[in-house]
A and B are shown apart, each in its own frame.
Chain A
Amino acid sequence: MQISEEIKISDNGFVFNSRTGESFSLNPMGLEMIKMIAIDNGFDEIRESILEKYDVDELAFEKDFYEFLAMLKHHQLTQQGNPLDFV
């Protein structure tokens, strides 16, 4: 999954979509993850990084991560790929 080119992410968690004019806010964990996603990190790399740094188990992370991705997709912040390809 890739973040759309029109999406601008500030360091304080503010997200702006220049295509739709919509704006969003991220909590610190959301900001950290979207930054990793934006530079093309895959699930495994992100998981490894988060698990090493934070007090969270693998399953809890996986569930939250995919929910977060679903929300990014819901808000149309990701590039539209193959509609059959969920992530």
Chain B
Amino acid sequence: MKKSTYEKPIISKITTGVPGKFGLSTKQKIIAEIDSIPVAKFVEEFGSPVFVFSEKKIRETYNDAKRAFETRYPKVQFAWSYKTNYLDAVCSIFHDEGAWAEVVSGFEFEKALSLGVNGANILYNGPEKSKQDLMLAIDHNASIHIDHFDELYLLIETTRKMNKKARVAIRINLDAGIYPMWDRFGFNYENGEAWNAINRIMLAENLELIGLHTHIGTYIMTASAYGIAASKLSNLMIATHRKFDYWLKYIDLGGGFASKNTLKGAYMPGSETCPSFDDYAEAISNAIISSEIPHENLPVLFLETGRALIDDAGYLITSVLANKRSTTGRKTLVIDAGVNLLFTSFWYNLGVFPSREVTDFMEDTTIYGPLCMNIDVVREAINFPQIKTGDQLVIERVGAYNVTQWMQFITYRPNVVLIDLEGKTHIIRKKENLETIKKNEFNPKK
């Protein structure tokens, strides 16, 4: 006789009061496969935990964003934000789709060059550029986005010594009507600092000012803020033309588009509250097109969108190590991936899902990572079904920042796998081992 399906016995206290948003029962979402490959197969082949990226999703999202902007504005160019995810395989997909490179350090600049990106197609941001970095950028004819006056003068000095011209833009911080206002990057618009910088650069012999850049913040949930920023940059472009009879070549609105992840403290899920690419495109395009810039002199619109292009394409498959109860009787899970791999769990309530069918009985649960650290909490509170030890879970929307900001702490960083367009899997970053860690160490006692 076939035995019945077993389920862990559960008793939970019924509490009365104002119903929470979990008051209505919903069907638990299951992620059993990624791009038609069963989750269990990834673990079998590549171990657990394992990051999985979908090339199909990357290209789909990129083309969605591109369509949103190109149908509204005549000259659009995306530049892939390396800091969001600089795995070679991922960058190569974006470059293959036509994206330039947006880098923020000498290391990222070198990485872009190593991938065959033409130096003239690199936008060099960031507050830290050494003399050597600047020389590298000048040699490769990159667009150097100047962050502050010290960098401007270092650049003037460097170009004089090299007797070469540098193509530059300035980074501008401005009040786009959102809080917090980011004012740490670049020159301020409202107090005239940016205008002063433009004037100084226009007088410099070896600097060719070709663009204006701003990065108003991150995870911006108000598309209209980009409209304000675009208007202000357009104003500066017009002012530059009036004074110098010269049209700048581009306006760069930076990154900061929200992904569909849910920020901690948000009541509604990000998938329902975040603006779409169309919303952002509408606000930005309208602002530039309706400015005083003549249509024949419209600047190229650069976008350095990172998070919104790659977050959805990344998954982390993890296994349940233990089911526990806290002293208050609360259900807790320990999984084999912690905040060392999920830096974004510090600000997102990441979506964690079972990989196989579960029963409908849900409990408020805390999900801990495997680190021997109290801060290692992947989800503080999630309404979650009963999961057996050893089962696999899938954490979605982890494509941005996690594989660049991850920490090698007490364990090895796992395999990163890419599913190509034909459904084949490739390791794009190999799991670390003892040698990875020790090869750069030197022990004077031995």
Interface residues of A (CB under 8 A from B): 15, 22-30, 32-34, 50, 53-56, 60-61, 64-65, 67-68, 70-72, 74-75, 77
Q: Give every chain B residue within 8 A of A54 (Cβ-Cβ).
A: 3-6
The answer to whether A26 touches B8 (Cβ under 8 A) is no
B13 with A24: CB separation less than 8 A: yes
A64 touching B329 by the CB < 8 A rule?
no
New A-B pairs, 15, CB < 8 Å, besides A54-B5, A61-B6, A75-B11: A23-B13, A24-B11, A26-B9, A27-B359, A27-B361, A30-B11, A54-B3, A55-B3, A55-B5, A64-B9, A67-B8, A68-B10, A68-B11, A72-B11, A77-B11
> What is the bound-complex CA distance between A50 and B9, given in angstroms?
11
Asked whether B329 lies within 8 Å of A25 as measured between CB atoms, the reply is no
Evaluate contact between A68 and B12: CB separation under 8 angstroms. no
Chain B stretch 140-191: residues in CB contact (< 8 A) with chain A: none
Q: How large is the interface on B (under 10, 10 to 19, 20 to 34, 35 or more residues)?
A: 10 to 19
Give the contacting residue for A71; candidates B6, B325, B388; CB below 8 A: B325
Q: Is the CB of A24 within 8 A of B12?
A: yes
A16 to chain B, nearest CB (A): 9
Contact (Cβ within 8 A) A56 B13: no
A22 touches B13 (CB 8 A): yes
Shortest A59–chain B CB gap in Å is 10
Residue pair B11, A15 in contact (C-beta under 8 Å) = yes
Q: 25 A-B pairs, CB-CB below 8 angstroms?
A: A15-B11, A22-B13, A22-B14, A24-B11, A24-B12, A25-B12, A26-B10, A27-B7, A27-B359, A28-B7, A29-B9, A30-B9, A32-B9, A34-B11, A54-B4, A55-B5, A56-B6, A64-B8, A64-B9, A67-B323, A67-B325, A71-B11, A72-B11, A74-B329, A75-B329
CB-based nearest B residue for A52:
B3
Minimum Cβ distance to chain A for residue B361 (Å): 4
Task: Report the separation of the CA atoms of residues A74 and B11 in the bound assembly, to the nearest whole angstrom.
Answer: 11
> Within the complex, what minimum Cβ distance (angstroms) separates B380 from chain A?
21
Within 8 Å CB of B11, what residues of A? 15, 24-26, 30, 34, 68, 71-72, 75, 77
Q: Give every chain B residue within 8 A of A25 (Cβ-Cβ).
A: 11-12, 14
**Contact yes or no, A70 B9, CB < 8 A:** no
Given A53-B3, A55-B4, verify A27-B9 contact (CB < 8 Å).
yes
Chain B residues with CB under 8 A of A34: 9, 11
Q: Which residues of A contact B329 (CB under 8 A)?
A: 71, 74-75
Q: Which residues of B contact A53 (CB under 8 A)?
A: 3-4
Q: Is chain A's interface secondary structure helix, strand, loop, or mixed overall?
A: helix
Complex Cα distance A32/B388, Å?
20
> Are A29 and B8 within 8 A (Cβ)?
yes
Give chain B residues whose Cβ lies under 8 Å from the Cβ of A32.
Answer: 9
CA distance A33 to B10 in the complex (A): 10
* Distance from B323 Cβ to chain A, minimum over Cβ atoms (Å): 8
**Cβ contacts under 8 Å, B8 to chain A:** 27, 29, 64, 67
CA distance A68 to B325 in the complex (A): 10
CA distance A32 to B13 in the complex (A): 17
Report the separation of the CA atoms of residues A28 and B9 in the bound assembly, to the nearest whole angstrom.
Answer: 7
B residues near A23, Cβ cutoff 8 Å: 13-14
As a 0/1 sequence over residues 12 to 53 of chain B, the CB contacts with chain A under 8 angstroms (1 = contact) are: 111000000000000000000000000000000000000000
The residues of A that contact B3 with a CB separation of less than 8 Å are 53-55
Alpha-carbon gap, A71 to B14, bound state (A): 14
Alpha-carbon gap, A68 to B10, bound state (A)? 7
A68 to B323, CA, bound (A): 12
Rounded to whole Å, the gap between the CB of A43 and the closest CB of chain B is 13
Q: Which residues of B contact A75 (CB under 8 A)?
A: 11, 13, 329
